[in-house]
Amino acid sequence: MPHSNRSWSPEKDMKSLKGKSILITGGSNGLGRQSALDLARHQPTEIWLAARSASRAEAVIDEIKRLDPAVSVKFLPLDLTSFSSIREAARIFLASTTRLDILLLNAGVMNVPAGSVTKEGYEMHFGINHVGHALIIKLLTPLLRQTAQSSEVRVVLISSVAHKFGPSGGLQFDSFKPKTGNSGLSPNALYGQSKLANLLFAREMARRYPEWITVSIHPGTVKTDLQRSEGGPFLIKAFQAVVVPLIGMAF
């Protein structure tokens, strides 16, 4: 396998994004925020930050404006626990732009309390991390196809090596929409299952829509708000000290 010791720098090595339209879910904090800042340095026409918190999104918009006042940055209200919110976000987006070059599906939850479900009754990890994003892609597919006729299009799903921590038998279909509200699986297993769904979905998207590039990526261990439900600093440090090195040894 080709290998280079040279590190890749988003600031120096990324090509111009002039004319590109970008949509980032979870764009108000964590990896979404940092991705927006890095992409904004390369002259895209517009960046949409899809998120629940308007105040957080506005703070990121202010940061981007300080980097490049010419970039149009917009807040798109989005609650991935609600199909009606997802459909409304897609409606607003489609009515406001004529192209979509980069779709970064970054929003997610981890280790939420057992029994938590979305407004449609999906287990929370699966509903937010997979189902909500799958609906977004479905609603935006016509625009992606249209844009791909004249431009390189990218759909990026933030997955995780934690897919290895899902149920040993693979996807547990009965847990997607549990009748009792509790799937019986641990939060770690449910998170891993949602990340496996991301991987499988990206693979199928790549097969069905070869006119654009669909990838799922493992971003590594990054301290973000995703870890706010993990059990506090002690468990985070223990995970980083014990589990992360073992994950690295597996590749």
Any idea which residues carry the catalytic annotation? 159, 191, 195
Please give, one letter per residue, the 3-state secondary structure of the chain: CCCCCCCCCHHHHCCCCECCEEEEECCCCHHHHHHHHHHHCCCECEEEEEECCHHHHHHHHHHHHHHCCCCEEEEEECCCCCHHHHHHHHHHHHHHCCCCCEEEECCCCCCCCCCCECCCCCEHHHHHHHHHHHHHHHHHHHHHHHHHCCCCCEEEEECCHHHHHCCCCCCCHHHCCCCCCCCCCCHHHHHHHHHHHHHHHHHHHHHHCCCCEEEEECCCCCCCHHHHHCCCHHHHHHHHHHHHHHHHHCC
